[in-house]
Structure 1
Amino acid sequence: MDDETFTALVIGGSVGGLAAAHELRSAGADVGVYERSAGPTQARGAGIVMQPEVESLLNRTGTSARDVCVELSERQHLTRRGETARYPAPQLMTTWDTLYRALRDPLEDVCYRQDSTLDGVRVEGDGVTASFSDGHTARSDFLVGADGIGSATRRLLDSTPPVYAGYVAWRGLEAESGLPGHLVELLADRFTFFEAPGMQMLCYLVPGSTGERRDGERRVNWVWYTNVAEHDLPAIMTGRAGKRFAHFVPPDELPQDTIEKVVAQAHTSLPAPFAELVHSSRVFLQPVLDLAPHRMLTDHAVLIGDAAGTVRPHTASGTSKAFGDAAGLAKALRGWRSGLPLPAQALQEWEVVRLDRLVTLAEAGVHLAARSGLGSGRSFFRR
């Protein structure tokens, strides 16, 4: 860009980091993105509910939300006996990988460096230097930590650890063409859910693996929340080869005995269509973790998205919160130039607004979980 006014490093190349790159470029920054994964970035979730913050950025990059979403027309509640109650509720649903491509493709001219694990952040004078485990270093005027709940940036700037919320999300993401026709017929065009004490399950269709939205080419996304005692967590977070995962157990890594227990619980606890769906899926797993907000802003560096603090998935706001963080940050930095003092007041006002939004969403998520008997019900978010 001919009007670049400052340089910025974005740590984390998932959708929150890509949003930050877009927003900072719009504010005049020369941006570099550093991602710790060495290969194709793996989705840590699956379905994403389209929210205004996400749609706004997509529009500004020339993409319509409908171009990356499956449109639903109804909500559908299943009872344990499989009875249904339906009502109109239009929604747009996408997936992490579809959204990732929509944001990544317009940034082809931006430095996007993979296999870059952050191991040092040093503020010197009017800039910040990031160092990486492979010996690479990069210096810029500003640094954004958008590297998720396992954020290396946060560990270097703030030692606050995440805390297990008391329940997990079992997940599946399956091609509709590989599932029984009667299941697809029941689930297509609907947001379907089931609730019982101590569990909650929901399901909807999303674009196919390369963004397909036509009937027969989409995917069925589901998530099933169940309580799991903390002392049982290490066992289910250990993969087939004995590797202990911290935040996500990928498909095909869950041991067979764990899968058998999950399927058995599904058949005894869920409506028959949902039990069949679990049985037909390659199950993967995420524990639900709480990361209490502490601060987002420090000298020449900020944290955004899950790196700054988490919201429970029931709010459907994790992605949109990160996008809102990025948009507000760009607004606070707009007009700033390299070599000038940071716009401290604007950044502090941004932090107050975004922390307030984080706390509001986080408290709402705890309340929604407690209504279904999920987790302990305690909150880590009050300030």
Structure 2
Amino acid sequence: MTEGRAVVVGGSFAGLTTALLLREQGFQVDVFERTPTYLDGRGGGIVLQPDTVRWIVERPHPFSLEEVSIGSTCTRYLGPGNTIAFEEPAAWRFSSWTTLYRILLDDFGTRDYHLGESAVGVGQDADSAEVRFLSGRRERADLVVFADGISSVGRRRLQPDVRPRYAGYVGWRGTVLEREVSVETADLIHDATVYTVVPGSHMCAYPIPAVDGGLARGDRQLNYVWYRNVAEGPALDEMVTDLRGVPAPVSVHPGQVQQRYVDEMRAEAAELLPPASAELVKRTEQPYIQVVLDIGVERMSHGRVALVGDAAFAARPHAAAGTAKAASDAWALAVALAEAPDVPTALARWEPDRLALGRDLLSRVAAMGSRSQVTDTWDPADPALHFGLYGPDR
């Protein structure tokens, strides 16, 4: 399949990666993003696994990977009083969601990137698929890809029985400018993935580029996620009601978290965490809440319609594999389309390996989360707890 039209729903990392690869296969590609403005400035840190950066590494760019990311030398666990409880070599690179989004959008361009278009429905016949939008717009194409994330319209329309499953905890997330923390805290985090593990909870932190792309010491950001158990039901519902009084079942955005919860979180950080970890929490101006969910579909292909990334499998963040899984889905889709005589055949061939990988990832991150949030059996030396899309054996 080397020509035709493709519609990609969702203009984030998954959607743009997919769109760029489909364009290389000869498709005329249009991306439809529901937000009315570009997504610049959203999201926090990203661990750069090989699939995540494959587009940047394998296609010509006027910069190197080192110019858009920060390297680490080790994984470091902090104990009481900022003592180093465990440390091992670990060479990862970190970037920010904003940095990668800007690169991909620059590569795709804005001519065929349509803002303010919310998909509400999808249908198809033997010859094409159609996406219907809230604006009344209808778009027909040979191929439709839903890359619209954890709240995917495509998944809800095609597999309405699939429901997110709450993991039993939330992630408090935030970023702090490196120059705004103490020298001791900055020194502990600047070259490392830093973990803190306490009973029923853990935090992961690492450096990422500043919003303006700055990589120099002092100019960067320190990014973290702190996992806290919250009972499902009224306690969770109350916590994730934002300042407008609107329930936020996926995430409560920066500036929308009720202040009493922010105050409680800061007080508990000072009580429970080592000083460096607690300082990150204390100095975050607008922390936000990610509700930790498991989502897994039974199908990723429906005739001429595909689900990729979080639209198909939304995995807990412990393996830092969300963007890697989305990119891997997109690259595999491009290969399948290049080898098959038509879109439905390509999607049918593409699907089995994608489903197997998604299910494996969901299983692994659920086990990781249980060991820190439930059973208190997290072992820093266990490779099963390391980052990675494919697990410790691959």
Alignment TM-score, normalising by the size of structure 1: 0.92
- Mapped to 2, the partners of 1:299 and 1:220 lie a distance apart of 44
* % same residue: 35
Structure 1 unaligned spans of 5+? 378-383
Task: Please show how residues 216-235 of structure 1 align to structure 2 within 5 Å.
Answer: 216-231=218-233, 232-235=235-238
Give the corresponding residue for 2:154: 153
Equivalent residue of 1:334, what SS? helix
* Contact 2:303/2:347, CA 8 A, preserved across alignment: no
Distance 1:163 1:175 in 2: 34
1:46-57 to structure 2, matched below 5 A, reads: 46-57=44-55
Q: 1:224 to 1:28 in 2, by over 3 A?
A: same
CA contact (8 A) 1:369 1:375 kept: no
Q: What is the one-letter code of the residue matched to 2:187?
A: E
Q: Which amino acid in 1 is paired with 2:350?
A: W
Deviation of 1:42 (Å): 6.2
Offset of residue 242 of structure 1: 1.5
Q: Which residue number in structure 2 is paired with residue 280 of structure 1?
A: 283
User: Which residue pairs with 1:380 in the alignment?
Assistant: none
Corresponding letter in the other structure for 2:184: H
- 1:372 equivalent to 2:385? Answer no
Task: Give the drift of 1:277.
Answer: 1.5
Q: Out of 206-215 and 39-48, give the one that drifted further.
A: 39-48
1:12-47 Cα distance to aligned partner (Å, 9 max, x none): 000010110111112111110001111232666411
Residues 166, 374 of structure 1: 8 Å contact kept: no
Q: Offset of 1:109 from its aligned partner?
A: 5.7
Q: Partners of 2:29 and 2:10 in 1: how far apart?
A: 12
Question: Does the Cα contact within 8 Å between 2:10 and 2:148 map onto a contact in 1?
Answer: yes
* Map of 1:173 onto structure 2: 175
**One of 294, 307, 311 as aligned partner of 1:307:** 311
The structural deviation recorded for 1:276 is: 1.8
User: Match for residue 390 of structure 2?
Assistant: none
Match of 1:247 among 234, 245, 250: 250
CA spacing shift, 1:292–1:318, aligned 2, 3 Å? same
Name which of 283, 291, 294 aligns with 1:290: 294
**DSSP 3-state at the match of 2:252:** coil
Describe the shift of the 1:26–1:103 C-alpha distance in structure 2 as closer, same or farther (beyond 3 A). same
Distance in 2 between residues matched to 1:30 and 1:245, nearest whole Å = 36
CA distance in 1, matches of 2:336, 2:111: 22
Counterpart contact for 1:33–1:110, Cα < 8 Å: no
- Checking the alignment, whether the CA contact within 8 Å between 2:196 and 2:202 is kept in structure 1 is yes
Partner secondary structure for residue 92 of structure 2: strand
* Residues 1:14 and 2:15 are matched in the alignment: no
Equivalent residue for 1:237, pick from 236, 240, 247:
240
Q: Which residue of 2 aligns with 1:140?
A: 141
**Mapped partners of 2:197, 2:176: distance in 1:** 22
Q: How far did residue 243 of structure 1 move? A: 2.2
After TM superposition, the structure 1 stretch with the greater mean CA deviation from structure 2, 260-269 or 141-150, is: 260-269
Q: CA deviation at 1:106?
A: 0.9
Matched-pair contact (CA < 8 Å) for 1:28–1:334 = no
**Residues 80-229 of structure 1: matches in 2 within 5 Å?**
80-84=80-84, 85-108=86-109, 110-159=111-160, 160-229=162-231
Q: 1:376 to 1:353 in 2, by over 3 A?
A: farther
* Paired residues of 2:199 and 2:376 also in contact (CA < 8 A): no
Letter in 2 for 1:72: S
SS of the residue 2:355 aligns to: helix
- Counterparts of 1:113 and 1:361 in 2: how far apart (Å)? 32
Q: Report the more deviating stretch, 179-188 or 218-227.
A: 179-188
2:52 partner letter:
V
Structure 1 residues 305 and 155: alpha-carbon distance in aligned structure 2, compared to 1, 3 A threshold: same
Following the alignment from structure 1 to structure 2, what is the Cα–Cα distance between the partners of residues 42 and 265? Answer: 32
- Output the CA distance in 1 between the equivalents of 2:30 and 2:339: 19
Distance (whole Å) between structure 1 residues aligned to residue 17 and residue 216 of structure 2: 27
The Cα shift of 1:249 comes to: 1.0
1:264 matched residue in structure 2: 267
Q: Distance in 1 between matches of 2:123 and 2:231?
A: 39
Aligned partner of 1:381 in structure 2 is none
Cα offset for 1:138? 1.2
Q: Indicate if the aligned counterparts of 2:176 and 2:280 stay in contact, CA closer than 8 A.
A: no
Separation in 1, partners of 2:374, 2:43: 19
Report matched runs for 1:10-89 at 5 Å.
Answer: 10-41=8-39, 45-63=43-61, 64-84=64-84, 85-89=86-90
Tell me how far 1:181 sits from its aligned partner: 3.0
Pairwise CA distance, 1:183: 1.9
TM-score, normalisation: structure 2: 0.89
Q: Which amino acid aligns with 2:46?
A: I
Residue type at the aligned position of 2:364: A
